Structures are given as structure tokens and as C-alpha cells.
């Protein structure tokens, strides 16, 4: 099954719902190792995304993601704004004018998004950042693609791997962003950016029709 | 050809304050202060940053913009804005401390430096007194042979070597074809000159090498004799 603009809009809509539902959880995670604004910032950013979607309905999945990128970069205010903004923008560029996205295009867009986050944040796997959710997600997506899976299966695998990746940040010592100021005291807390990334990828799989909460 | 200077901060007050300070030493330079989110909170705003870049590219500049940013996400916002603006090649992001880097960049711009040199001036700023010396602990002027021209002048202005005199010396020397040191530090670095902390009655020793050596020594002599216009 290929995915069109309805999927992209549904993805962003579900993302906004999840950011609102998990707002307090993200704030609590960020309070432990950051400046406790991640939940609020993401909620505000995705509200802006929804508002823009209402004003100018996009015609392609790429256009929807580009719109999201601009809204997030302007409204989030913290580091997550440029990071997610770059991710969505690179994904949009990778998709181009495609009306329907197949598994290969989707895996390519996920890779572009991850590479954008790495380039903008200059973080590597193991730095206790959102890269620790995105990199396993991209690897899992590529494996499913190689095995002949469809776009929905690619998203399901990416979402599951991102959730596992977020959990693996628990014992890590942060080497990027404000959490890095804490040094060893950052160990024992889950990275809020990795958690929000896993939620966004879960929203992508759910929007594609993959049953919520059973991404394993 | 001039260079515009952009400050991207999480705080509107920091951006405006840094510009206010640097403008004291560089009255002809065009500054753009970007700080805080559109609704007045602490944070960075991509649209505002892009708008400032575009204004700078059209109004201020023939040679481009040099950008200084404060904390991590302001740097990322500045990078993103560069990616989105119409002439990304003309926007240079300096890896420098915001206030000190901006002052150094402003003085270099006032002295007529082009964008790459302005960026380098911002990035040459270092903290602490060790900058005046190399790893062996000797002043950088040593080992280059005798200077072409030199002179030693006593400061007569009450405030001694503070920010504005340092900016005047650095700005003037930057416009000359000369390598000049003042008490062993780079004469074109406003920060290094200020870090000398020479008070009234203290002495400045100028050593110059290059085509404009005598002009350079003469320039500093005149500034010192006139008390930098402060007496």
C-alpha cells in the first residue's frame, strides 16, 4: 500500500494529538536533564502545524511535511525546532512532488530526516539525543525495505525501533545540548528528544493504518 | 563594500544590548538584533532570523553578513536561516563568544574589513591573558627580528586603555598594510588591547612591520597624545 497526502495530514494530526497527550511526560523527562520546556514547545509547535494545515491544505505529502517544518522551526523556540524542522524539510525535499509514497521513497525520506538531524545537531549515536531513536528507526526501515515490505511495514518497523532506541538512552551520559552540562548525572534518565521522536514515528505508523500500540 | 552584523540570541534584551555596546565602537556599521520568539518569550524564531538576514543582505552589505549567535539552538536557527535565505554563500556564521566576538567583528567592519576577515576577527577573540603569549611563554613579537618602526607612548587620558581607545587603535591599524603589536599583543585585536589593562601613566610600546610601519606608529602616537579625544 502506498501513502498519499491524506496519510501525511493524518500523521501530523496524530502527532499533534500525541504531543498534547504526552506534554506532561515530556516536561517531566526534560525537567530531569534539561530545561523542562520540551513538552510545552512540542505541543505549541504542533498546534501551529495544525493551524497552518487548516489555512493552506497541502496537495502532496512533501508539501505537508514542508509546511510542518516551517511551523516547527518558527514556533518551537528551543533546539527541537531547528532539529525537527530540518528533519521534516529534508524528508520533504527527498519526497519531492510524489503524490504516492512507496516503501523505497519512505525509507529514503526517513534517512534524509535522520541525516538532517545529525547534520544540524552534530550528534552521534550514543550521545543521548533524538539520534538514538532515529538511527535504529532508519536501519529497521531499510531492513524491511530490503525484505520487500510495503510502506506500512516500513513505518511499523521504524516506530518500533525508535521506541526501543529511546529506552536505550536511559543509561547513557549526555554529550550534547543542555543535558551534557550534567555530565554523569544525566545517566538514569530517558532523553526527551528520543521519546518525542519515537512518538512522532509511532504517529506515522498509526496514520498508515498500523494498529496503535502494537508496533512489535 | 560593507559587511552587516547580525546577532541571534535567545533573548531580545541580550541581542539589543550586545548591539548597543558594539555600536559604541563602530558607529557606521549596520547591526541586526534578533532575539526571543515572535510572542516575546525566550527562544529563537526562524522567520525573524530569515527576515533579518534578508534585510541585511539588501541594505547593509555588498560583501555579506557575519552572524554571531549565543547558545546551541540559536546557532542551529542561524544555520537553518542561512539555508533558507536567498544568498546563503554571503552569510558567515562566526564561532565566537557573543559579546566579545561582536565587538571585535564591529571594529574590524568599521575598519573596512571584508566578510571573511570580519569573521576571523570575531573568532580570534580568546579569553584570559595567555593569548598574548605563545606556548613557550614569549610574546609573539619575539623571533620575528627587529621591527621596522617602533615607539613608546605614555597614556595621558584618565581612563587609560578601555574599550573605545582599544577600538580606535585596532580599527585604525586594521586599515593599514602593517603587522603591529602593542605591548606584545596583536594591535588589531580590540579584546587583546583591552586585556592589557594599561591605566593612565602606563606605557604603550608599538612595534610595526610592513609597508605602513611608520604610519602605524604615528597613528598610535597621535591617538595617545590626543588622549583618544577624551581630554
Distance in angstroms (rounded) separating the CA atoms of residues A12 and A204: 8
Q: Which residues of A touch B43 (CB under 8 A)?
A: 41, 76-78, 81
- Rg over alpha carbons for chain B, rounded to the nearest Å, is 18
Which domains are seen in chain B, by residue range? 3-124 (3.40.50.510), 129-229 (3.30.1340.10)
Distance from CA of A77 to the nearest CA of B (A): 4
Q: What is the band of B144 on the pLDDT scale with cuts at 50, 70, 90?
A: low
**Complex confidence, ipTM:** 0.72
Which residues between 25 and 84 in chain B have a beta carbon less than 8 angstroms from any beta carbon of chain A? 37-38, 41-47, 72-73, 76-77, 79-80
Distance from CA of B81 to the nearest CA of A (A): 9
**Percentage with pLDDT > 70 across chain B:** 90
Distance in angstroms (rounded) separating the CA atoms of residues A64 and B13: 35
Task: Reply yes or no on whether the pLDDT at B134 is more than 70.
Answer: no
CA B183 to chain centre: 19
For A73, the closest of B41, B42, B46 (CB atoms) is B46
Please check whether residue A121 touches B, CB under 8 A: yes
Phi and psi angles of residue B63, each rounded to the nearest 5 degrees, phi first: -105, -10
At A88, list the grid cell. 521534516
**Mean pLDDT in chain B?**
87
Interchain contact, A79 vs B79, CB within 8 Å: no
Contact B37, B45 (CB under 8 A): yes
Q: Which residues of A touch B44 (CB under 8 A)?
A: 77, 81-82
Q: What is the DSSP letter of A159?
A: H
Contacts of the segment A124-129: beta carbons below 8 A, 24+ positions apart: A126/A172, A126/A175, A127/A172, A127/A174, A127/A175, A127/A176, A128/A169, A128/A172, A128/A173, A128/A174, A128/A175, A128/A176, A128/A179, A128/A186, A128/A191, A128/A194, A129/A169, A129/A174, A129/A176, A129/A177, A129/A191, A129/A193, A129/A194
User: B148 or B129, which is more confident?
Assistant: B148
At B120, list the grid cell. 576571523
Average pLDDT for residues A24-29, to the nearest whole number?
Answer: 95
Please check whether residue A47 touches B, CB under 8 A: no
At A167, list the grid cell. 529506552
Output the pLDDT for position B127. Answer: 57
Q: What is the pTM (predicted TM-score) of this model?
A: 0.74
At A158, list the grid cell. 521504524
Q: Which residues of B touch A78 (CB under 8 A)?
A: 43, 73
Phi and psi angles of residue B71, each rounded to the nearest 5 degrees, phi first: -95, 170
Average pLDDT for residues A90-112, to the nearest whole number?
Answer: 97
User: A169 or B229, which is more confident?
Assistant: A169
Please check whether residue A78 touches B, CB under 8 A: yes
Task: Reply yes or no on whether the pLDDT at B135 is more than 90.
Answer: no
> Of A82, A211, A116, A102, which Cα lies nearest the Cα of A159?
A211
Output the pLDDT for position A212. Answer: 65
Contact B208, B147 (CB under 8 A): yes
Of A36-40, A155-159, A180-184, which has the strongest mean pLDDT? A155-159
At A50, list the grid cell. 495544525
For B80, the closest of A75, A77, A82 (CB atoms) is A82
For B51, the closest chain A residue by CA position comes to: A74
Amino acid at each position: 500500500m502506498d501513502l498519499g497526502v491524506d496519510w501525511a495530514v493524518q500523521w501530523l494530526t496524530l502527532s499533534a494529538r500525541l504531543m498534547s497527550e504526552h506534554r506532561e511526560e515530556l516536561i517531566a523527562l526534560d525537567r530531569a536533564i534539561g530545561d523542562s520546556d520540551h513538552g510545552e514547545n512540542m505541543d505549541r509547535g504542533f498546534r501551529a502545524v495544525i493551524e497552518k494545515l487548516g489555512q493552506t491544505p497541502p496537495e502532496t505529502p512533501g508539501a505537508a511535511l514542508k509546511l510542518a517544518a516551517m511551523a516547527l522551526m518558527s514556533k518551537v523556540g528551543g533546539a527541537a525546532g531547528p532539529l525537527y524542522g530540518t528533519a521534516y524539510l529534508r524528508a520533504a525535499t527527498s519526497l519531492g512532488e510524489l503524490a504516492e509514497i512507496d516503501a523505497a521513497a519512505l525509507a529514503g525520506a526517513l534517512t534524509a530526516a535522520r541525516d538532517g538531524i545529525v547534520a544540524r545537531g552534530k550528534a552521534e549515536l550514543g550521545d543521548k539525543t533524538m539520534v538514538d531513536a532515529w538511527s535504529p528507526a532508519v536501519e529497521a526501515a531499510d531492513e524491511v525495505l530490503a525484505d520487500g515490505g510495503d510502506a506500512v511495514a516500513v513505518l511499523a518497523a521504524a516506530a518500533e525501533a525508535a521506541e526501543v532506541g529511546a529506552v536505550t538512552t536511559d543509561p547513557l551520559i549526555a554529550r550534547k545540548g543542555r543535558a551534557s552540562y550534567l555530565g554523569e548525572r544525566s545517566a538514569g534518565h530517558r532523553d526527551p528528544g528520543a521519546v518525542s521522536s519515537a512518538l512522532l514515528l509511532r504517529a506515522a505508523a498509526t496514520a498508515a493504518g498500523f494498529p496503535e500500540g502494537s508496533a512489535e | 563594500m560593507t559587511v552587516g552584523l547580525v546577532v541571534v540570541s535567545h533573548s531580545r534584551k541580550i541581542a539589543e544590548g550586545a548591539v548597543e555596546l558594539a555600536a559604541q565602537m563602530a558607529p557606521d556599521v549596520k547591526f541586526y538584533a534578533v532575539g526571543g520568539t515572535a510572542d516575546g518569550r525566550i527562544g529563537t524564531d526562524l522567520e525573524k532570523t530569515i527576515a533579518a538576514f534578508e534585510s541585511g543582505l539588501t541594505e547593509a552589505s555588498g560583501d555579506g553578513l557575519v552572524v554571531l549567535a549565543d547558545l546551541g539552538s540559536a546557532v542551529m536557527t542561524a544555520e537553518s536561516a542561512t539555508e533558507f535565505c536567498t544568498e546563503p554563500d554571503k552569510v558567515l556564521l562566526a564561532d565566537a563568544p557573543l559579546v566579545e566576538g561582536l565587538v571585535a567583528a564591529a571594529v574590524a567592519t568599521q575598519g573596512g574589513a571584508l566578510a571573511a576577515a570580519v569573521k576571523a576577527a570575531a573568532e580570534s577573540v580568546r579569553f584570559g591573558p595567555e593569548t598574548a603569549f605563545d606556548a613557550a611563554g614569549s610574546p609573539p613579537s619575539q623571533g620575528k627580528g627587529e621591527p621596522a618602526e617602533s615607539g613608546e607612548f605614555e597614556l595621558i587620558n584618565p581612563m587609560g586603555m578601555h574599550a573605545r581607545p582599544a577600538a580606535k587603535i585596532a580599527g585604525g591599524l586594521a586599515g593599514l598594510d602593517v603587522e603591529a603589536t602593542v605591548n606584545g599583543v596583536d594591535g588589531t585585536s580590540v579584546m587583546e588591547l583591552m586585556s592589557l589593562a594599561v591605566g593612565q601613566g602606563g606605557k604603550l610600546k608599538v612595534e610595526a612591520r610592513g609597508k605602513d610601519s611608520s604610519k602605524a606608529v604615528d597613528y598610535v602616537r597621535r591617538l595617545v597624545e590626543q588622549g583618544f579625544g577624551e581630554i
